[in-house]
Protein backbone atom coordinates (compact mmCIF):
# COMPACT_ATOMS: atom_id res chain seq x y z
CA UNK A 1 0.00 0.00 0.00
CA UNK A 2 1.35 3.41 -0.96
CA UNK A 3 1.36 6.24 1.60
CA UNK A 4 2.23 9.77 0.48
CA UNK A 5 3.83 12.09 3.03
CA UNK A 6 5.52 14.93 1.10
CA UNK A 7 7.19 16.40 4.17
CA UNK A 8 10.57 16.95 5.75
CA UNK A 9 11.50 14.09 8.08
CA UNK A 10 14.28 13.39 10.56
CA UNK A 11 17.50 11.97 9.16
CA UNK A 12 16.97 8.37 10.32
CA UNK A 13 13.35 8.00 9.21
CA UNK A 14 14.17 6.44 5.80
CA UNK A 15 16.27 3.74 7.51
CA UNK A 16 13.49 3.06 10.01
CA UNK A 17 11.00 2.72 7.14
CA UNK A 18 13.31 0.31 5.30
CA UNK A 19 13.65 -1.82 8.46
CA UNK A 20 9.86 -2.08 8.49
CA UNK A 21 10.04 -3.75 5.07
CA UNK A 22 8.85 -0.67 3.18
CA UNK A 23 10.56 1.41 0.52
CA UNK A 24 11.14 5.09 1.27
CA UNK A 25 11.18 7.36 -1.78
CA UNK A 26 13.11 10.48 -0.79
CA UNK A 27 15.04 13.41 -2.17
CA UNK A 28 17.43 15.93 -0.63
CA UNK A 29 16.09 19.45 -0.22
CA UNK A 30 18.31 22.42 -1.00
CA UNK A 31 18.28 26.16 -0.40
CA UNK A 32 15.01 28.00 -0.02
CA UNK A 33 12.95 24.84 -0.48
CA UNK A 34 14.68 23.31 2.56
CA UNK A 35 14.09 26.45 4.62
CA UNK A 36 10.41 26.54 3.57
CA UNK A 37 9.99 22.92 4.67
CA UNK A 38 11.73 23.67 7.97
CA UNK A 39 9.18 26.42 8.63
CA UNK A 40 6.33 24.05 7.75
CA UNK A 41 7.82 21.48 10.12
CA UNK A 42 8.09 24.12 12.85
CA UNK A 43 4.35 24.88 12.50
CA UNK A 44 3.56 21.15 12.56
CA UNK A 45 5.60 20.58 15.70
CA UNK A 46 4.16 23.65 17.47
CA UNK A 47 0.66 22.33 16.74
CA UNK A 48 1.68 19.01 18.28
CA UNK A 49 2.84 20.81 21.44
CA UNK A 50 -0.61 22.37 21.67
CA UNK A 51 -2.27 18.96 21.28
CA UNK A 52 -0.05 17.22 23.86
CA UNK A 53 -1.98 16.03 26.88
CA UNK A 54 0.58 15.70 29.68
CA UNK A 55 4.05 16.78 30.77
CA UNK A 56 5.79 13.86 29.07
CA UNK A 57 4.08 14.48 25.73
CA UNK A 58 4.70 18.22 25.98
CA UNK A 59 8.38 17.58 26.71
CA UNK A 60 8.71 15.26 23.71
CA UNK A 61 6.97 17.71 21.38
CA UNK A 62 9.07 20.62 22.66
CA UNK A 63 12.15 18.51 21.87
CA UNK A 64 10.89 18.28 18.28
CA UNK A 65 10.38 22.06 18.14
CA UNK A 66 13.89 22.53 19.55
CA UNK A 67 15.37 20.21 16.90
CA UNK A 68 13.71 22.19 14.11
CA UNK A 69 14.88 25.47 15.64
CA UNK A 70 18.43 24.12 15.71
CA UNK A 71 18.15 23.25 12.01
CA UNK A 72 16.84 26.75 11.19
CA UNK A 73 19.72 28.26 13.15
CA UNK A 74 22.26 26.05 11.38
CA UNK A 75 20.84 26.95 7.97
CA UNK A 76 21.14 30.65 8.81
CA UNK A 77 24.54 30.33 10.55
CA UNK A 78 23.09 31.49 13.87
CA UNK A 79 24.56 30.18 17.11
CA UNK A 80 22.37 29.20 20.05
CA UNK A 81 24.22 31.77 22.16
CA UNK A 82 23.11 34.50 19.75
CA UNK A 83 19.48 33.47 20.13
CA UNK A 84 19.82 33.31 23.91
CA UNK A 85 21.41 36.79 23.98
CA UNK A 86 18.63 38.20 21.79
CA UNK A 87 16.01 36.58 24.03
CA UNK A 88 17.60 38.17 27.09
CA UNK A 89 17.66 41.59 25.45
CA UNK A 90 13.98 41.30 24.48
CA UNK A 91 13.05 39.98 27.93
CA UNK A 92 14.82 42.88 29.63
CA UNK A 93 13.21 45.42 27.29
CA UNK A 94 9.68 44.04 26.80
CA UNK A 95 9.41 41.36 29.48
CA UNK A 96 8.66 37.67 29.20
CA UNK A 97 5.35 35.87 29.57
CA UNK A 98 5.49 34.90 33.25
CA UNK A 99 2.84 37.47 34.25
CA UNK A 100 0.34 35.87 31.84
CA UNK A 101 -0.88 39.25 30.56
CA UNK A 102 -3.56 39.01 27.85
CA UNK A 103 -4.04 42.28 25.92
CA UNK A 104 -7.70 42.61 24.99
CA UNK A 105 -7.68 46.02 23.32
CA UNK A 106 -6.35 49.56 23.39
CA UNK A 107 -8.00 52.93 22.85
CA UNK A 108 -6.96 56.57 22.72
CA UNK A 109 -6.93 58.54 25.98
Task: Kindly list the domain boundaries of the chain, sorted by start residue.
Answer: 13-80
- 68 close to 38: Cβ distance less than 8 angstroms: yes
Q: Average of pLDDT values for 17-23? A: 97
In tens, the pLDDT along 28-71 reads 999 999 999 999 999 999 999 999 999 999 999 999 999 999 99
> If you average pLDDT over every residue of the chain, what do you get?
98
Q: Which of 104, 73, 74 shows the shortest CA–CA distance to 86?
A: 73
Q: Average of pLDDT values for 20-32? A: 98
CA distances from 99 to 16, 42, 74, 88 (A): 43, 26, 32, 16
pTM for this predicted structure: 0.90
d(CA 51, CA 20): 27
In tens, the pLDDT along 85-105 reads 999 999 999 999 999 999 999
d(CA 104, CA 62): 28
Amino acid sequence: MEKVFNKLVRDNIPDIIEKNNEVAVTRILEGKEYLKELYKKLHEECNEVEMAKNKEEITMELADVYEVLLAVMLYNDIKLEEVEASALIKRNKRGGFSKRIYLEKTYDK
